[in-house]
Every structure is written in structure tokens, then in C-alpha cells.
Amino acid sequence: MENTYHVGMADLVVVSAPAKLITLGLGSCIGLVIFDPVAKIAGMAHIMLPDSRGAKSTEKVGKFADTAVPAVIDEMIKKGASKARMKAKIAGGAQMFALPDAPTDFLAVGSRNVKETTALLAKTGIALVASDTGGNKGRTVEFSTDTWMLTIKTLGKGKADI
């Protein structure tokens, strides 16, 4: 039986295979997975916001894209992963509500999360091999170290592996 880990909002979990990483009900947040299939190590973060400017230093590192991405990489390296072999997958970043006649920057935080996370991965040199982002539907994601696949469940659309 594999070990199953639930990654809560702003949490960050790094595991050795065999394991399953699950995040329920991603809306505007991002489910980021980074994995090294040779060292058999995977990490997942549930990112809420694009950047930590103005945040208190005591806040969880998994909360912001700019703190979560380096933290997952560091944790994985500590467990024996190699940065050169790391690959990433992301899901989430939806916009749950659209208001046609109001300034809604705060409702578009999902797309800013996607942009920031993608940019940070590119800067770090980690290949983003699959992604399922945007839209207006919530996602539940599950990453298995058996297949290194990210299974995404969306209301009304069923399941998809990326």
C-alpha cells in the first residue's frame, strides 16, 4: 500500500516513492509537482498567491509561488534528488467567478499564479512537461510516483492524466 499525503492550502510535501500526493479542490491556487524519476523523489506545493512581497516572514513558504518553487527544489535535493533531472507539472489557476462590469483583478489571481509559477520554473531551468491551467472550474489533483502522472478531476469533465 502506497503512502498517501494530502497537501493542504499553502502546504508543501516532499516524498520518496512509492507515494501518492493529493490536493483537493484547487480553484485559483496552483498544484505544483516537481519530480526526479531516477532518485524517485517527488514534491507537491499548493500555491495560493504569486509573490511574497509584503508578507510576514513567519508565513508558510508554500503559500507564494516565489517561495514555494525554490523550497520544493531544496527539499528534494536534501532527500537526494538531482536538479538536472527534475521535471515539473502544474494544474489549477482557474478563475471561479467572472463579473463583467467590475474591476476584478483580485478574481484573476489564478492566471497570475500560473504566469509566476511558469516563469520561475523557466528561470530555474526545470522543464515544465505538462500543465492544465486556467478556465473557470476547480480541480482535484493526484500525483502517483508509480507512473509519474498527474491525474486531474474536474467537475463535469471527468478525469484526465497529464
Partner 1 sequence: MLDLSSFNNLQLDAIREVGNIGTGNAATALSKLLSCMIDMDVPRADLVSIYSLAEYYGDPDALVAAVFVRSLGEFGCSLIFIQDEEDSAMMVNLLLKQQFGDSLPAEMPQEMLDSALSEVGNIILSSFLNAINMLIGTKHQISVPGVAHDMLASILEVVASIFGQMGEMALLVNTELRVGDGERSISGNIIMLPDPEALELLLRKLQVL
Least distance in angstroms from the C-beta of 90 to partner 1: 15
User: Which CB, 85 or 157, lies closer to partner 1?
Assistant: 157
- Regarding 37 and contact with partner 1 (CB under 8 A), the answer is no
Backbone angles phi, psi at 125, to 5 degrees: 85, 20
CB-nearer residue toward partner 1: 89 or 139? 139
Residue 139 touches partner 1, criterion: CB under 8 A:
yes
Q: Which is nearer to partner 1, 49 or 81 (CB)?
A: 49
With contacts defined by CB under 8 A, name the span among 33-41, 69-77, 97-105, 126-134 that binds partner 1. Answer: 97-105
**Of these residues, 29, 88, 120, 150, which one is catalytic?**
29
Q: Indicate the burial class of 161 (C-beta count within 10 angstroms; 0-12, 13-18, 19 or more).
A: exposed
Q: Give dist(CA 81, CA 73) in Å, integer.
A: 9
Omega of the bond prior to 50 within 30 degrees of 0, cis? Answer: no
Can you tell me the distance from the alpha carbon of 63 to that of 65, in angstroms, rounded to the nearest whole number? 7
Q: What element of type H or E holds 67?
A: helix 65-78
Measured between alpha carbons, how far is 25 from 155 in angstroms, rounded to an integer?
10
9 or 129: CB nearest partner 1: 9
DSSP 8-state secondary structure symbol assigned to residue 161: E
User: Contact region for partner 1 (CB under 8 A) — 3-11, 12-20, 37-45, 122-130?
Assistant: 3-11
Binding residues for partner 1 (CB under 8 A) = 8-10, 24-29, 48-49, 54, 56, 59, 63, 94, 96-102, 104, 106-107, 109, 136-140, 155
